[in-house]
Structure 1
């Protein structure tokens, strides 16, 4: 499944070659900007905020590549049984997500699709006063996924665009599925 998605990604990448090869009155440009989003793991653990910084390299008028560094949290529920009692706690995993996405855009719509890598950065106990969790590990520390984002650009000025978006990101190693909304403020340099 994951291999087929990677092949589709590189197929889309090859579609940009004719657009690059044609002579166009378009200057390649790089955009960057802060991003904030709210993801909800589809399994029902509630909404979790995230933030980061994005980088967009446009290679033609309609296509480009998007990457960035994004921090997000994931709640993990833990139950411990001892002496005929069960104690529950919630651990908040901290992850660094790095996507590498192909991006198609026109005046009204932006669409991004590509693989993501989540790096486990640590944890924090957020609930469970009857029990204290001393150690928590996740193995492997890397999760792979695919992200799809659809957004509608709002032009503020020649240098600034705001992009509200809907996002969907299944991760395959730990079988997590994230969905949510976000906003990126793109600055043209």
Structure 2
């Protein structure tokens, strides 16, 4: 399982989760781990299960097929689960035979720690601005403290990434994703950027 993490909301985590899910080879499971502000299912254009949206505990992952990409399945975030139950839910998703990419909550709080702990590796996403990059570095540090390696960093809404970014985050810059008008993931430049980034990611489940 590959975690997509970032220091702030709006950094491009959800876009990167879906962009990489479509760019990686083979069937991929895109998982939403943000229980408070879930939006992966909305961006993917799939419905959220009634039991997840109502706050009832979700014991088993409930997968939705991506409407335009047959290789990607979407797992909306559950609601009504405590941290232990949520971690069990995530580990069930991680045990799926498909490669899993998980959209993490923003920041370095307890909610973000659960998917980082379950994941095999982390990709940190940040726009090219100093406050966001500092927060991304804190998220990367938390992942390492939990024993999860940081695979690299993705710079969103930019075509360049200074060398200092890699030093700050403590991981290589895998690539940049240019700013485009919505719907971003349909733009050829964005899709090509995620394909290049995906080529640099080691095989992770």
Q: Select the structure that is richer in strand.
A: 1
Q: TM-score range by the shorter chain?
A: under 0.3
Larger Rg: 1
Q: Select the structure that is richer in helix.
A: 2
Relative contact order, higher structure (CA 8 A, sep 6+): 2
The normalised TM-score by structure 1 is 0.24
